[in-house]
Structure 1
Amino acid sequence: MPDDATLRELAARQGVCVRPILQHVTDTLTGTTRTVVIACGATRAKVCPSCADTARRLRIQQCREGWHLDHDPPRPEPDNQDDEPENDGQADEYEDTGRRVRSTRRRQDAPNIPRLEVSDRTTGRIFEAPDGKTYRPSMFLTLTLPSYGRVTSEGAPADPATYDYRRAALDAMHFPKLVDRFWQNLRRATGYNVQYFATVEPQRRLAPHLHAAIRGAIPRKLIRQVVAATYHQVWWPNLDEPVHTDPAAMPVWDELAHAYADPQTGALLPSWDAALDEINDDPAAMPAHVIRAGSQVDIQGVIAGTPLADRVIGYLTKYLTKSITDPLHNDHDGEAPISAACRAHIDRLADEVRWLPCSPTCANWLRHGIQPKNPRPGLEPGRCTSKAHDRDHLGLGGRRVLVSRRWTGKSLDQHRADRAAVIRAVLTEAGIDMDDHDELSATTTTPDGTPRFVWTTTHPGDLDGPSYARLIAHAINQRQRWRNQYETAKTRAGPTTPDLSATARSTAAPAV
């Protein structure tokens, strides 16, 4: 049998998960057991290329289904949406609670924008051509962040000494807030409930930027006006001069006070609420950071069913399987070596991100002589567990895909179920029975009401369990058999059958 590395490569080519999760399922009625392989569900190609590609294809379907709708989709249930954050954006608020609010007045250096009552409509206008044909165009929008210094063609700063790494790191950390504020402003300026499918991707210089499919057509002049007028103020304590920089003299946990204290004087550090109250009481206080979008805005009109629409969807989802640092690599797999200048650029930005606070609960506030919100023992500056501090994220700790609540009216799980339903319908029509694991559902009960199937996690190589090689080999064979069945079913059904072969590779888990 081939070695594990060869099988992993073959599995990736066949669309099989390379790091599966094993579950032993015991039928309490019959006493029989079987091993079920579940895909890991990773969204990064370097972790599992097969699962990452499956996730990307699901997002492609979600984007395509909602972009050019000619009717308002139903309002989803609150638990069925996991994409768009709720934020009324009525004021520049402190980011711990909605109770501590500064002035709602706009900044004097920000232009005004129209403010209309937002209707419940989610679809765009209909345009009629001279020949009587009607169109309902949509848009593709790209937003960027401002420049932090001139960069070379490979993305590294031309002069690292003058490149504004601090501002770049803070902008990356608070970019999701700026994007959220932009959609709020755009809805108020247009007067309808603008719906979007957006992805956050890294530029070669490692600054995040936004690609967005927008349902409906909006005047380009108005969009540029909203971009120029959108900003987000971070009302946090001052971030300029850390108080505690010596790793051997960081604030210590006081068990009796349940708070952190100065290592030299023993005095308790100001609480998070006290630090914010001090800012609120100072009429001359300035925000710790203000983030704005860059001046470069790309806007394209897109008509449903055109080649451009398909190209744009591919462009929207192109980098979803990549990490933030991958654009600096020279090949498509992100494995080629990068130049010393680019590596130094990553190191410098990663070091800046490591020590800046990412949220009110971040341990890095101890360096500034302030207790994080909800403090607990064991916090250590520079070791915050938020992914914003990871080298692969470089400050961007939020979601990479942002979808408005009424884009399709469905959750991602519902889109996944739709893909599976198409596959099963095609197979059923062709007289092919696909393996169905619903019979092993954890919700199935015995006559006395107890769970019939008991699931327990195991690992390849466990005693009496399958080896990794046997497991992957079986999964590859199973996947090939399913694919052949689906291609046969499509042939029988005729040319109108949708080509969802990618779905066939991910709808069910093989049993060993």
Structure 2
Amino acid sequence: MSSADIGRADGLFCLRLVRRTGVRRAVWGGVGVESLVQRELWARVGRGDYRRWQRQVERARFCSHPVRVAGGAAAVDGSSGEVRAEFSTRGEPDGTLLIACGDRRASVCPSCAETYRRDMWHVVASGLSGRMPPASSTQGAGVRQSAVESAVPASVESHPRLFVTLTAPSFGPVHSARGGAACRPRSGRKKTCPHGRPAGCGLVHEDAHPVVGTPICADCWDYAGAVLWNAHAGELWRRTRIAVDRALAPLASAVLGCRMTVAGARDLLKVSYVKVAEFQKRGLVHLHVVLRLDGVDAGDRSAVVAPPAWASAGLLAEAVEQAVDAVSFALPSPDGVLRAAHWGAQRDITDVSAGGPVADSRRIGAYLAKYATKTASDAAGPGASAALARRFRRLHRDHLRRKVGPHLARMVETAWDLGARRGLAALKLRHWAHTLGFRGHFATKSRAYSVTLGVLRQARRSWRARQRTASGESDVWASGDGDGSTVIVADWRYAGRGYVGAADAQLAETMAREYEIARAEYRDLLRREKEITYWCEST
């Protein structure tokens, strides 16, 4: 194909993009914004380096806000000092290299969040059903690996496992959807709150109604207590995790008929977990946790082995119940009201061990991985978008109320105002106002539960290196992660964030949609081929 043919094909592709992007018509400085974007689209596609820019976007996984870096790197032979390969951004489009931002939040970057979601699925599912190490999992400079981190034995399917949901306590009555029943009917004498407003609600709400999760009376609702509880949710979980170990000792003593100390129980039993935090519609986080009871190998405490036969899922469930009920500690009192951090009465502890009522590790992994990419904005509904996805440098109260509603906006305002108090400076509530005061990680795991995200990323790099080697292409850069014979010498500097113009961002967004469509069609084709093969073999 000649360069003229390529230019015409790119022009037709650009024309399709202009029609699909749906840019709003507006006037800025006497020039239509749509015409400016169209000119940028034509200019990008008409350039001779468009194909190279397109490959960069594909390698960045169609990231919405990629990081642009400038500089170069060289692959140098460690023994002779010979430069085996070089790369510089001087010949690249715009003189930069695009790197995926790696953000986990779907409202910020859907592409990177999808990669994170799939990685989290592997983290959760491998701890439930096991995972064998990849072919080159022991490779990777800067990635610390052990037997536990690189592989999880398939025998974990027989270990006692629980799926636990822990919620926050009540800070005041809120509107709720009760499956066709009235929200909060009041039949007694007290039909109004101290502020003269109705103390109940006799309406029937749908699950997606915006009023669900908002207080019956905003003045009665304890916003300061809710924000402080969110800020200490991570500490509450840490103490709960310790309390589970302590509760196992007397329970094990009752089963064995002899006294066992906490240290003695830790020499026999080990609790591994993965947890994901999710925002409820009322603005409070609750935790979804997978707990697994393992044994302890005295010779290698990092190994994942089966627990003793007497250690059952019921024993673990009883220990969790006792720990959740017992853990409580005092919260700061900025307004003179005494508060305590503890778990709410609504909780769920389900046995997901092999043969139990819910034992599908794939579905549990998908359930937890989905919530690992959410933000506080998702509690307000689809219209909130990314309003609470980033930290605030300045609080625009009216704009925030229009975006997320008065309830969540007041949660943010409360965190912002409490963050200005000297006694609460250590909580850095203004830093975490966009998460309604929650300061913990949205997804965490214990070391022995399953593989790490770093191991999964290294597995992807090794797979790409093997694919290039199988196609006959020499991969000098990948060998720098192997036996150490090649040293990578790099000099990079930050050049910016995001695409150069609005047209580039729309091009990348359209390319991402077309990639997902092609991927769905390919999966559908594979499914049909399997069905045809099955029916041909059965007949």
The TM tier, using the shorter chain, reads: 0.5 to 0.7
SS at match of 2:69: strand
Q: Deviations over 1:167-191 (max 9, x none)?
A: 1111111110001111111122223
SS at match of 2:126: helix
Work out whether 1:16 is the aligned partner of 2:62: yes
SS at match of 2:432: helix
Which position in structure 2 is the counterpart of 1:105? none
Instruction: Tell me if structure 1 keeps the 8 A contact 2:416–2:430.
Output: no
Q: CA deviation at 1:457?
A: 2.7
Q: CA deviation at 1:350?
A: 1.8
Q: CA deviation at 1:63?
A: 1.3
Q: Deviations over 1:306-339 (max 9, x none)?
A: 773222222212222221131221579679x999
Which position in structure 1 is the counterpart of 2:8? none
Amino acid at match of 2:326: A
Which position in structure 2 is the counterpart of 1:364? 421
Q: CA deviation at 1:198?
A: 0.2
SS at match of 2:247: helix
C-alpha separation in 2, matches of 1:346 and 1:57: 29
C-alpha separation in 2, matches of 1:331 and 1:232: 37
Could you tell me the percent identity over the aligned residues?
Answer: 25
C-alpha separation in 2, matches of 1:159 and 1:341: 21
Structure whose alpha-carbon radius of gyration is higher:
2
SS at match of 1:419: helix
Which of 163, 172, 186 does residue 244 from structure 2 map onto? 186
Q: What is the TM-score when the length of structure 2 is the normalising length?
A: 0.54
Amino acid at match of 1:364: R
SS at match of 2:363: helix
C-alpha separation in 2, matches of 1:423 and 1:415: 13
Q: CA deviation at 1:147?
A: 1.0
Q: What is the TM-score when the length of structure 1 is the normalising length?
A: 0.57
C-alpha separation in 2, matches of 1:31 and 1:164: 58
Work out whether 1:458 is the aligned partner of 2:482: no
Q: How many residues align?
A: 357
C-alpha separation in 1, matches of 2:102 and 2:502: 18
Work out whether 1:231 is the aligned partner of 2:328: yes
Q: Deviations over 1:343-388 (max 9, x none)?
A: 121122222212225xxxxx521xx6x9x57xxxxxxxx9x57532
SS at match of 2:324: helix
Which position in structure 2 is the counterpart of 1:44? 105
Instruction: Tell me if structure 1 keeps the 8 A contact 2:21–2:510.
Output: no
- Decide whether aligned partners of structure 1 residues 5 and 157 sit closer, same or farther in structure 2, where only a CA change above 3 A counts: farther
Which of 102, 116, 121 does residue 60 from structure 1 map onto? 121
C-alpha separation in 2, matches of 1:389 and 1:31: 42
Which position in structure 1 is the counterpart of 2:308? none
- Decide whether aligned partners of structure 1 residues 475 and 423 sit closer, same or farther in structure 2, where only a CA change above 3 A counts: farther
Which position in structure 1 is the counterpart of 2:235? 177
Work out whether 1:213 is the aligned partner of 2:293: no
Which of 120, 133, 136 does residue 159 from structure 2 map onto? 136
SS at match of 2:214: coil
Instruction: Tell me if structure 2 keeps the 8 A contact 1:327–1:334.
Output: no
Q: Deviations over 1:394-425 (max 9, x none)?
A: 010221112112112x4421222123434554
- Decide whether aligned partners of structure 1 residues 458 and 166 sit closer, same or farther in structure 2, where only a CA change above 3 A counts: closer
C-alpha separation in 2, matches of 1:61 and 1:317: 9
Which position in structure 1 is the counterpart of 2:533? none
Which of 165, 172, 175 does residue 149 from structure 1 map onto? 172
Amino acid at match of 2:65: R
Instruction: Tell me if structure 1 keeps the 8 A contact 2:106–2:374.
Output: yes
Q: Deviations over 1:212-242 (max 9, x none)?
A: 11113243333222211112334x5x5226x
SS at match of 2:371: coil
- Decide whether aligned partners of structure 1 residues 57 and 31 sit closer, same or farther in structure 2, where only a CA change above 3 A counts: closer
Q: Deviations over 1:39-94 (max 9, x none)?
A: 011121222111111112111111111234599xxxxxx9959xxxxxxxxxxxxx
Instruction: Tell me if structure 2 keeps the 8 A contact 1:7–1:472.
Output: no
C-alpha separation in 2, matches of 1:427 and 1:476: 27
Q: Which runs of structure 2 are paired with 1:342-353 in the superposition (5 Å)? A: 343-353=405-415
- Decide whether aligned partners of structure 1 residues 347 and 437 sit closer, same or farther in structure 2, where only a CA change above 3 A counts: same
C-alpha separation in 1, matches of 2:66 and 2:372: 21
C-alpha separation in 2, matches of 1:387 and 1:432: 50
Amino acid at match of 1:170: L
C-alpha separation in 1, matches of 2:406 and 2:370: 26
C-alpha separation in 2, matches of 1:189 and 1:386: 37
SS at match of 1:318: helix
SS at match of 2:271: coil
Work out whether 1:387 is the aligned partner of 2:431: yes
Q: CA deviation at 1:196?
A: 0.5
Q: CA deviation at 1:197?
A: 0.6
C-alpha separation in 1, matches of 2:100 and 2:67: 6
Q: CA deviation at 1:38?
A: 0.5
Amino acid at match of 2:431: K
SS at match of 1:183: helix
Q: Deviations over 1:247-304 (max 9, x none)?
A: xxxxxxxxxxxxxxxxxxxxxxxxxxxxxxxxxxxxxxxx964200011120112145
Q: CA deviation at 1:3?
A: 5.8
Q: Which runs of structure 2 are paired with 1:109-124 in the superposition (5 Å)? A: none
- Decide whether aligned partners of structure 1 residues 310 and 63 sit closer, same or farther in structure 2, where only a CA change above 3 A counts: same
- Decide whether aligned partners of structure 1 residues 31 and 414 sit closer, same or farther in structure 2, where only a CA change above 3 A counts: closer
Amino acid at match of 1:51: C
C-alpha separation in 2, matches of 1:418 and 1:203: 35
Which position in structure 2 is the counterpart of 1:87? none
C-alpha separation in 2, matches of 1:302 and 1:42: 31
Which position in structure 2 is the counterpart of 1:240? 335
Alpha carbon RMSD of aligned pairs, Å?
5.0
Work out whether 1:318 is the aligned partner of 2:370: yes
Which position in structure 2 is the counterpart of 1:296? 346
Q: Deviations over 1:90-117 (max 9, x none)?
A: xxxxxxxxxxxxxxxxxxxxxxxxxxxx
